[in-house]
Structure 1
Amino acid sequence: MGDIDLSNPPELYWHCAIKIGEKSPYAVVNDLSFSQLKKNIIDPWLSGRQFFVSGILVKKEKVSEIRIAYTPYTTEKYVNDYVQKSVQSGFCGSEDPHLIPLGMGTELTNELLSTETSVAPDPSISDTALVLQICQRIQYSARILSNRTRKGKTPFLIEDEYDVQDLLQAVLKAYLKYSVQEDTLPKVASTKSSRADISIENLGILIEVKYVRESGDQRRIFEEYSEDLELYSKWPYLKTIIFLIYNASILRDPEAFEKHSGPQERNGKRFNVKIVLS
């Protein structure tokens, strides 16, 4: 089956069997994605937390045996092959069908559960969360810079969306090793702009800043939001769009925008939308 590159493991298919004590049967889960395997089994095991396998509560210190294997095909294929061979040979085996893919696949228990060789977390996930947190707290940085107490120092005032963009870009560059810049996008009919305020290509993030001047801006911002989704879905690296609405408290109903956070699909592309009220 060849070596498995655990720095970039295949997403499907993974299997795990655990035995609690010497006499108990195996608790088995099949056909997991690697994301599920890591979240539900590998990470709890390495951190010493309890977890469930096939409805059985697993405590690391009680485990007498654990096996993890990868197969390129689903359990169903290996079970069907096993049954067909049994019929042809005239031998009817009694093996638990859930254990069959573990015997046919590539076992990677030691490689995945060793603290020295375990798979590192995806850095882009934590970096994306960091970008979102910076957007949520950028108003506090702006507040400090607008009230500089040292004599002769000019305050940095947020008077339009460009001021927000400049401050946000400066803070992001202090935290991220990736390129943070404006990004020209394909022009879409009826849209006013073809440039994203801030793009972070390595993370697949676009940030669009909306500056609120009066309560009546709610309708304008919502119309621009709809246009932006159509435009930004053309960006080939897109994973997440963050709409940062600055001075959101001025709006008549700022919370109405929050319901638009979540998965979206445009032009055949799926991505996440995060609405930040600042």
Structure 2
Amino acid sequence: MNIKFPVDRAIEILRRQHDALSSQWNHRDRSSNPDFKKWKRDTEVALENIFGSESRHLGDFKRISFQAGVWYTDMPDSDHREAYEAGLKTAAAVLNSMIDEIKEYAIAEEGADIAPSSLNLIEQMCLRFHRVARQLRDRHGGRDTLTIGDEYDVQDLLHALLSMHFDDIREEEWSPSYAGSGSRVDFLLKAEQIVIEVKKTRQSMKRGELGEQLIVDRARYAEHPDCKTLVCFVYDPEGIVGNPAGMERDLEKHEGAMRVRVIIAPKA
């Protein structure tokens, strides 16, 4: 089976759409839910780009029904809900099956961009960051190691990981027009025009505080002359963020030239 993406990238995209399903359960049905329609369309676009517009995979997904097969006036809400949840369960199973199929059989099409992009490399570092942090705690002979206690520790370890793939990693002061004050850019990859902003959750964090910080960061970096892509990495080892997929999706909604990628990891 040939696919149009590198295998790892295709799996990452499908997993992201699968994980985003968790935020759809609170909606009664798709007809009154723009958020669900966006998720469904995003998934269809992903499948078309990975497998092709005439693929069985896209057809299988489009045939999933999220509404009752027979509708009548005064239909109980429970019937709508049952049909909607059945559709979500089927979608989850189908996406999982596609991921397994890619792992087992997929080969990237000749001419596909096999080398991972800079953004894809950064995404993988963030998604596997917790695994690296745990491994560092277990050293031979009880030797001293790096304990991730605050954002500075996260920055130090991420900087070391970035150095494996990028030569020009800058930590610089920058005075944006937004909010009228200067701030430090955690990491600027100047050649790639990528800015990486690092956060770490904590028990004392107030409800909504993290989202507010990221909204401010997003607005500030939109004015940065060297920022075409903003990556916001939130290290959440204790699972404080209740709905990481929902927060990622909400904060990535942004009009303008700057691309925004929010990564909250590890996922519970």
Report the TM-score when normalising by structure 2: 0.51
Aligned match of 2:140 in 143, 149, 165?
A: 149
- Kindly state the Cα deviation for residue 138 of structure 1 after the two structures are TM-superposed: 1.0
1:203 partnered with 2:218: no
Read off the aligned partner of 1:228 and give its amino acid letter.
D
1:221 and 2:245 aligned: no
CA deviation after TM superposition for structure 1 residue 277, in Å? 2.6
Are 1:239 and 2:228 counterparts? yes
The percentage of aligned residue pairs carrying the same residue is 28
CA contact (8 A) 2:130 2:265 kept: no
2:242 aligns with 253
Runs of 4 or more consecutive aligned structure 1 residues displaced over 6 Å after TM superposition = none
User: Deviation digits for residues 83-129 of structure 1, max 9, x if unmatched?
Assistant: xxxxxxxxxxxxxxxxxxxxxxxxxxxxxxxxxxx989596x62220
Deviation at 1:218, TM superposition (A): 4.2
Give the structure with the higher percent strand.
Answer: 1
Q: Out of 142, 155, 159, which is 2:149 matched to?
A: 159
Segments of 5+ residues of structure 1 without an aligned counterpart are 1-38, 41-49, 56-117
Amino acid at match of 2:164: A
Q: Would you say how many aligned residue pairs link Structure 1 and Structure 2? A: 163
Deviation at 1:156, TM superposition (A): 0.9
Contact 2:155 2:198 in 1 (8 A): yes
Q: Is the 8 A contact 2:170 2:187 kept in 1?
A: yes
Partner of 1:133: 124
State how far apart, in whole Å, the 2-side matches of 1:180 and 1:228 are. 19
Normalized against structure 1, the TM-score is what?
0.50
Distance 1:272 1:189, change over 3 A: closer
CA contact (8 A) 1:218 1:252 kept: no
Deviations, residues 42-69 of structure 1 (Å, cap 9, x unaligned): xxxxxxxx978xx9xxxxxxxxxxxxxx
* Mapping of residues 87-98 of structure 1, within 5 Å: none
Counterpart pick for 2:201 among 199, 203, 212: 212
1:183 aligns with 2:152: no
| More relative contact order, 1 or 2 (CA 8 Å, 6+ apart) | 2
1:170 aligns with 2:174: no
How many angstroms apart in 2 are the aligned matches of 1:252 and 1:263?
18
Residue of structure 2 equivalent to 1:272: 260
The structure carrying a bigger helix percent of its residues is 2
Would the aligned equivalents of 2:197 and 2:231 in 1 still touch at CA under 8 Å? yes
Structure 1 residues 192 and 215, CA, compared in 2 at 3 Å: closer, same or farther? farther
The answer to whether the Cα contact below 8 Å between 2:196 and 2:233 also exists between their aligned partners in 1 is: yes
Query: How far is 1:232 from its partner?
Result: 0.8
Give the Cα–Cα distance (whole angstroms) in 2 for the partners of residues 228 and 122 of structure 1.
Answer: 32
Partner of 1:230: 219
Q: How does 1:111-122 map to 2 (within 5 A)?
A: 121=113
What is the alpha-carbon distance in structure 1 between the residues aligned to residue 130 and residue 180 of structure 2? 28
Whether the 8 Å CA contact 1:206–1:238 is kept in 2: the answer is yes
Structure 2 regions of 5+ residues with no counterpart?
Answer: 1-47, 55-109
